[in-house]
Structure 1
Amino acid sequence: MRKGFILVFALVCLPGTILALRLPANETTTIEEEIPNWSAPFFGDQSGALGYGEDAFSRPKGLEDRVEFWKEIYTKHSSYQGVLHDSRYVHLVYGVVDFSDLKDLEKESRKKFLREKDRRIDQAKNVIREKLKSFQNPTSPEPLSPQDEKLKSLFDSVDEDNKYIEASKDGRLRFQLGQSDVFAEGIRQSGQYIRQMEAIFREEGMPVELTRMVFVESSFNLKAQSRVGASGIWQFMPRTGRRYLRIDGSVDERNHPLFATRAAARYLRQNYKMLEDWPLAVTGYNHGAYGILRLSKKLQSKDIADFVDFRKGSFGFASASFYASFIAALEVEKEAAKYYGPLKVEFPVLGETYRLKRNLSARKILEFFEGDLERAKKLNPHIRRAVWQNRIRVYRRNRIRLDIKAIERMEEWKDHNLYLEKISSYFQHERRKAIA
């Protein structure tokens, strides 16, 4: 980041995993394996991927400061601190608000913790706001303190009328929570699905780097839900989700990482076909492709830097920051060991996908998993709570996932072909239909 932090506001082992292996003698055994180490991503040859080029996901000119800002958020500041900064010129960082001393209070009362956290942020904002206003209209004959002089000098390169007053306004003076601990945890959780997600994007003919958008959307939180209704690691809204996924009373496929990943690949393909540019197509994932298309016509530009400088209506800080935060996430993940030290990742959640020919109860599904509810839920996070509570069945034509042991149990059920159909061919059919 070009400018350093100048103020600090202090206002006031995972257990081993058991894997089931199929042996040549058609027997099943369990062995205990060490939790795997994280390894840097290798995306390989993608010459056939849609819109792919050597510089497809390099830093765009004009976004360098924004990328550096988000890299610091992802690597330097934990979720118990954050930075006060200017929302237009994000490299202008005023200081750090720290509330790591409130961890015990959070354990006692989440509500009290949030109230005190917000109080500190507001207090820090007020300090900066008053200082900025005083720079615009100085009333004291006394010289500025070294600290205030440093704060004022942040704006030396800003050419804007009433620049200090403008910077003091609510829309400009902004707090960003740190995410270093959350990002590191996201990398750990990604071990469950990331290689399968990469394979899905390759099958769909899409750049594999795009799978890392998940770090921006949800930090790989498998239970992520937003206040506005977005759900799952890809944060699909219900309306968009229904275009690509099954959402009914028994399942919400937005919450299955693999099903949602294929949907995201197809959604991004449509964005690219409309916008013909990956920075815009990725931004369209957050803002909406049609909104980006309209803005492109208005600005008469396809340069993402021009979009970032434009702020109006619904195209605010989140939309303007989305592509830069994605590039930052790509860069951070490639060098995760540098930022977080040695990392362990979760074991892959492996299984096969079946389509239901008839409604199926939780009791029957659990028979495949030998009554292991947690194992069944881990393979099928898209199945709704009402199913596991035996209030409804999983509806026909929905999909479920079975691991090796569950498949063996299922195959012992003589009538299983009447209820379940393996759907690798179904996926191929769906892909042909989506591309057509």
Structure 2
Amino acid sequence: MDSREIVMVPRCSPRLLGWLVLGALALPAWAPAEPFPALHDDGPRVGAPASNPFEVPEALASRVRFWRDVYSRYDSNSIVIHDLENFDVIYAVINESAVLGGMSRAERERFLEAEKARINASLQRLASSEARLADLSPEDLEIYKLIRKYDGWRDFVGRLRAQDGLADRFREAVQLSGTYFQQIEEIFASYGVPVELARLCFVESLFRFRATSKVGAAGLWQFMRSTGRDYLRIDHLVDERLDPIASTHAAAKLLRLNYETLGSWPVAITAYNHGRGGMARAIETLGTSDIVRIIHDYDGRAFGFASKNFYAEFLAAMEIVGAPERFFGPIERAEPLRPDTFVLPDSVYLEDLVRYTGVDRETLSALNPALLPSVVSGDFSIPSGYRLRLPRGTVEAFAATYAGKIPADRRFAKVARRATRHVVRRGDTLSDISRLYGVSLQDLRSANSLRSDRILAGKSLWIPQAASAKHAKAPARASSASAVPAAGGYILHRVDRGDTLGKISQSYRVSPTRIREVNGLSGDHIRVGQFLKIPRI
């Protein structure tokens, strides 16, 4: 855990860093799905020993079996068409590459809708009072054999859903989980949260630190911004939702609060998806905290498929993660990382940490996914107080090197902004550029590692801060490549492509209202090349 900030561990090897690169891992091809899958095997043990607080209720067993198969049997090349409420009813498993290969996303969606409509038409014919067994087509007969053993099968009409398989991705998640999973369990235990709940991150993100959803959730624990800000730093520089350690502390706190409010771990788990307030309303409406009753009987407006199945998905993930070899065969997990943590006393640029401390950029980027592109690219310095993750066993040497080698004028009390790049045009000289931006020739050469003043058209130059921080700890207010000192207590800012009044306001820490006032602007419209007066602060 990172509570003591210093924890000892081996230096990150190139092989280990490979586990952190969130691209595709080389995985063996998975077994193709059957056209009509065989009956499920025993699946999760229903009514497990009393020592297991998360035994599978009989009423949820079919849901858990279904999600177990999604996670361990059907790979991402498979699409499962199933009944929306009876999860033992699977009508078809489509091999995507064989059937849908080469289709656009829109064509794929149209095909799936047509396939569901075809199956639904069979269900409608079977549900008709005029249906006769002798008159059934081979396809209708096949579906009839599948559903006839279930009570109320005539109600299956209109209840079809398509689900992508995830087995190969889940296997990869188990491999990747070696990096942090033991530490995650320890963090959960420190908050009094059952360690079994650590499996929720497989449901949420398949153990992807940088996972994002179409609705804006991010990270291992898929926090939305609104909820994440209650526990984490989330801004244009740092998004701690992407830090597996910081976000795990946040998830443990949230789950603990859910439990203390709702009084049931199954309900607290479901609240992670549906919200604490939503589950409190469910309990109040039904007069019970029994998760089975809530799943089957609660019809809250927002309590849809995802919320109804969240607990079953957790139970399925818990079973697989507890014995992955049973589902995937021999499996190699990544080595534990347990990074050291160094709390930055100053705001510094990432490139300066690389240059002066000897830790390579790839390692820092891999261990610090919370640093956003604005920082990694060097446009902004890392904020002071940031918990910098380092390879285990290196923090003491890093601290000594940091104190002894990073120049005082490369450390800032506040976040510094290095200007956007200037693209050299024909006829530009280094002197012209230094005068344009109000920076010295020496600073301009240093920022771009130039040995002479000779520059070529098309070359991209970094423009250092106009008021470069010559004094250690000098407040480094954000400046811009387009900032030029002006008389009368103002800085002139030349509007660049992509600038907005809001961005300029944040850059200079001056309110948009004040910028509008001093420039006589009636609204927020600005144009490229326009000069704005920015009041000095």
TM over 0.5: yes
In the alignment of these two chains, the number of paired residues is 368
The equivalent residue for 1:250 is 237
The equivalent residue for 1:151 is 143
Alpha-carbon displacement from aligned partner over 1:35-59 (angstroms, at most 9, x marks no partner): 99xxxxxxxxxxxxxxxx7231111
Asked if 1:280 corresponds to 2:259, the answer is no
Asked if 1:345 corresponds to 2:336, the answer is no
The equivalent residue for 1:204 is 191
The equivalent residue for 1:408 is 397
Aligned match for 1:326, one of 310, 314, 319: 314
Note the aligned Cα RMSD (angstroms).
2.9
Alpha-carbon displacement from aligned partner over 1:48-104 (angstroms, at most 9, x marks no partner): xxxxx7231111231111111111111111111121111122222212122132797
Aligned match for 2:111, one of 105, 120, 127: 120
Please give the residue correspondences for 1:78-227 in structure 2 after superposition, counting only pairs within 5 Å: 78-101=75-98, 105=102, 112-137=103-128, 142-145=134-137, 147-156=139-148, 158-160=150-152, 164=154, 166-169=155-158, 172-227=159-214
Aligned counterparts of 1:113 and 1:126: Cα–Cα separation in 2: 20
How has the CA–CA distance of structure 1 residues 401 and 32 changed in structure 2, closer, same or farther, with 3 Å as cutoff? closer
User: Equivalent pairs: percent with the same residue?
Assistant: 33
Alpha-carbon displacement from aligned partner over 1:365-424 (angstroms, at most 9, x marks no partner): 32366262211111100001111111111222222112234652441233589989xxxx
* SS in structure 2 at match of 1:176: strand
Counterpart code for 2:116:
K
Aligned counterparts of 2:137 and 2:168: Cα–Cα separation in 1: 35
Counterpart code for 2:378:
N
Q: Is the 8 A contact 1:97 1:124 kept in 2?
A: no
Q: Is the 8 A contact 1:80 1:98 kept in 2?
A: yes
The equivalent residue for 1:433 is none
Q: Is the 8 A contact 2:349 2:375 kept in 1?
A: yes
Aligned counterparts of 2:167 and 2:84: Cα–Cα separation in 1: 20
Q: Is the 8 A contact 2:219 2:241 kept in 1?
A: yes
Q: Is the 8 A contact 1:71 1:332 kept in 2?
A: yes
How has the CA–CA distance of structure 1 residues 356 and 56 changed in structure 2, closer, same or farther, with 3 Å as cutoff? same
Please give the residue correspondences for 1:381-392 in structure 2 after superposition, counting only pairs within 5 Å: 381-392=369-380
How has the CA–CA distance of structure 1 residues 98 and 21 changed in structure 2, closer, same or farther, with 3 Å as cutoff? closer
Q: Is the 8 A contact 1:368 1:407 kept in 2?
A: no
Q: Is the 8 A contact 1:190 1:220 kept in 2?
A: yes
Task: For residue 21 of structure 1, report the CA deviation from its aligned partner.
Answer: 7.2
Q: Is the 8 A contact 1:368 1:409 kept in 2?
A: no
Aligned match for 1:269, one of 238, 252, 256: 256
The equivalent residue for 2:349 is 361
Aligned counterparts of 1:235 and 1:243: Cα–Cα separation in 2: 14
Counterpart code for 1:129:
N
How has the CA–CA distance of structure 1 residues 29 and 56 changed in structure 2, closer, same or farther, with 3 Å as cutoff? closer
Aligned counterparts of 2:81 and 2:74: Cα–Cα separation in 1: 12
How has the CA–CA distance of structure 1 residues 368 and 314 changed in structure 2, closer, same or farther, with 3 Å as cutoff? farther
Q: Is the 8 A contact 2:126 2:140 kept in 1?
A: no
Task: For residue 205 of structure 1, report the CA deviation from its aligned partner.
Answer: 2.2
Please give the residue correspondences for 1:17-96 in structure 2 after superposition, counting only pairs within 5 Å: 54-96=51-93
The equivalent residue for 2:218 is 231
The equivalent residue for 1:5 is none
The equivalent residue for 1:6 is none
Task: For residue 30 of structure 1, report the CA deviation from its aligned partner.
Answer: 7.7
* SS in structure 2 at match of 1:244: coil
How has the CA–CA distance of structure 1 residues 357 and 277 changed in structure 2, closer, same or farther, with 3 Å as cutoff? same
Aligned counterparts of 1:261 and 1:179: Cα–Cα separation in 2: 23
How has the CA–CA distance of structure 1 residues 98 and 374 changed in structure 2, closer, same or farther, with 3 Å as cutoff? same
Q: Is the 8 A contact 2:356 2:402 kept in 1?
A: no
Q: Is the 8 A contact 2:207 2:220 kept in 1?
A: yes
Aligned counterparts of 2:312 and 2:403: Cα–Cα separation in 1: 54
Q: Is the 8 A contact 1:246 1:398 kept in 2?
A: no
TM-score by length of 1: 0.77
Gaps of 5+ in 1: 1-19, 23-27, 37-52, 106-111, 421-436
Q: Is the 8 A contact 2:295 2:308 kept in 1?
A: yes
Counterpart code for 2:259:
Y
Task: For residue 153 of structure 1, report the CA deviation from its aligned partner.
Answer: 4.5
Gaps of 5+ in 2: 1-7, 20-49, 413-537
Task: For residue 114 of structure 1, report the CA deviation from its aligned partner.
Answer: 2.7
How has the CA–CA distance of structure 1 residues 400 and 32 changed in structure 2, closer, same or farther, with 3 Å as cutoff? closer
Task: For residue 150 of structure 1, report the CA deviation from its aligned partner.
Answer: 4.3
